[in-house]
Structure 1
């Protein structure tokens, strides 16, 4: 995503929230790329992405996990190579040891999060990382991390905002405060298998790029006229997806189809609840934006309103009002809007813009939460459909075996 800004204005524009002088609206004047202007452009880009239904990171508050274009394509190519490598094993009904490819940066992020989860001081944080072969360095108030396979450290900026100095020290302070408040007790025993399984389930709940897909009804497709080539592909596809389905089913810890169905219903309810919150936030945001447009329009007519008050006679005021009729139509419409909504004191433009940006940021987080919940619901729904199809396919074989036993 790129924001391209022309250096000179090619036409006159209305007064926008980030502007603070008359020259900012006039044709031929140079554009001033201020911090307020960039924040306004970022918020508009985020709104545009939300309007088009695109997955959008929070441009206003940075990214917890910052994935560069190079890392994105490295993950895609690595996943494709891993799928190709696992294909013969899946065809032989063997579950591969690794099904999701992770870049070196992603592995480093997981190592850092694991250390941050337990460390209570920077020295302890550095020691835990050193045990994993990672060296943390601090220079000019910034952190960088050196892994054994590299000669140049990776800066926190390239990993995400969760790993910069301020975020790391904030987490360490929280861990230290929590440890100080906790009562003295004997050291915890080693983590059990159950604890490790719970952590694994939490990781599984995150959206996946290589999610499970629906099984193909081969008999139905062949009845529709598909050829032998499609049948061979469908058999391999079903073997792969059946292995993934059973893997996900076990990793979530389901012990019966009823538990899976309950999990699907719960995921659907959470998705619907978040959708309702998102719509309410969208309504509030649109109201604030409409108020902002009215405030800006009313502020543009200030010169005309001041000129009307300067007129001495009723005749002069009528003539002045007629000469500036368009300005007073806009001012009267804004005044009616303020009266209808019970607004007696107009909010400051900068404060209103900051409130809108905050709402956009909240909407972005809620939208991404909804996106993840929707992915989780679809995954569980696909697993349920596949399990149902597998059980239906195995049912005739079970009945046949029972008849032979009799």
Structure 2
């Protein structure tokens, strides 16, 4: 469950545009809050140089729009807070990334920083007010916060997280208030589904699976269970259709008889065999089989393969591999550009620092390297030394001018933005083939054991 908030970010009073943007991104990427920036991701920008890229993008937008306001909105922040104990930092960052991507429709560069310094894990998503093309600004439309919450809820549902139940508009309750807990019976039904998905051999093993989930079992004429914080035992027969002891025993018998078939021959018509699997699945154990393999996803996979003319498992595997390689190549190209952009940013800062502190360092030398002078001008002297060391590492290479560095940075930024379009297409294609292959592997029973058997047959 995630509570969200959309916050416009203005130029702070008395601050420059550059300092305002940097302050906002620095707070989000705070190493102490993000486990030394382990939980920071980004889109269409580099996390290390996000502030500078946002600044360049917004400056270009101002030139295009031919207008400038003192209290202009320069960026937006999405705060996304999760229920304590429900999500890991890694998954929270993925949820934040997907939420930001869908809400901005991929038109705005953003960073996602997951903070773990509070009891509740939460995301700070900062996205640039101007779009990637630098021609438009994000419009904070009426009820945009409700649209954001809806997008967040959809992403949370897809990740198996709970969502905040909608409340009438006239109820002025804060969205951060957690909804009332589901009933114990709902928890037990969910625990039963989990236990059955482990394919227990018999009813005793099924009860053992429930015990491992923290449930106390009471045997007798009517089997009953009691979970954490439950005062009384609840009988299985009171859980409704599909969850009584009789229903569970019938399902356990069906699991043994109604296993999904497993194919090991790659030279088969994939679509015909998949349709055969679905047709034959209407016998005993079909309900459990459907829950485990998610028939809806399988149907989507079959439709996707038909549209793309894939009719063998071997062809599907090759497509999944080739699309993954294409995505990796484009991703490497973007990362290379980002690395060089970071180098340019650092070198540009060294040039600025060297120029600003040159006079101070000359006076330090004239003072005979006085300790008193050093203590009074420590920061400037150290910046100057750091810049000199950076220049020495370049060796005999001619030091580029700031104008040359700015030109190269802008070229790399343009190249990276252009690559992101292909990046998104490649990622979308790769994701679809990977999901289709995963679903097909599941329905055909092609797992590690099947693959080992298949390899043994090939070597004979």
TM-score where L is the length of structure 2:
0.38
Q: Which has the higher contact order (CA 8 A, sep 6+)?
A: 1
Which structure shows the bigger proportion of residues in strand conformation?
Answer: 2
TM-score where L is the length of structure 1:
0.42
